[in-house]
Structure 1
Amino acid sequence: MFRTLLIITVVLLSLIGGMAVGLYHYFGWKGLLGLPFLILALLWLGKMVVGSLFKKFAGKLFGMKSEVLKDAAVLLHSITPVAKPPQPERSLEDADGAPEEDESDPNEEASHYFEFDMTITRVSGGDDRIWEPGELILTMDRVVTLEDLSEGEKELGFSAAYQIWEDGAFVDDKVGKMPGSQRLKMTFAVKPRIQRGWLQYYDQPLCEVSLPDWRIS
Structure 2
Amino acid sequence: MLISVSLAAVLGCRAAFTTWLGQEIGRYREYTAAPSCPGGLPEHAVEDCVRTVEFKVADVHARAGKKGGHTATVTGSPFWDGTVDFGDWDPLLTSLHKGDRVTGTVWRGSVMTLAEGDARQSSSDEPRDEPQMVAAAGTFGALIAVLTFVFGTVLLTGLGGRRLEPYVRWQPYGMRLLTTTIAACFVVGLICVWTGVPWWLTPQLIGLVVAGGAVLVYGRDRRKPAAAGR
What TM-score do the two structures reach when normalised by structure 1? 0.25
**Which has the larger strand fraction?**
1
**Which has the larger helix fraction?**
2
Higher relative contact order (CA 8 A, sep 6+): 1
What TM-score do the two structures reach when normalised by structure 2? 0.24
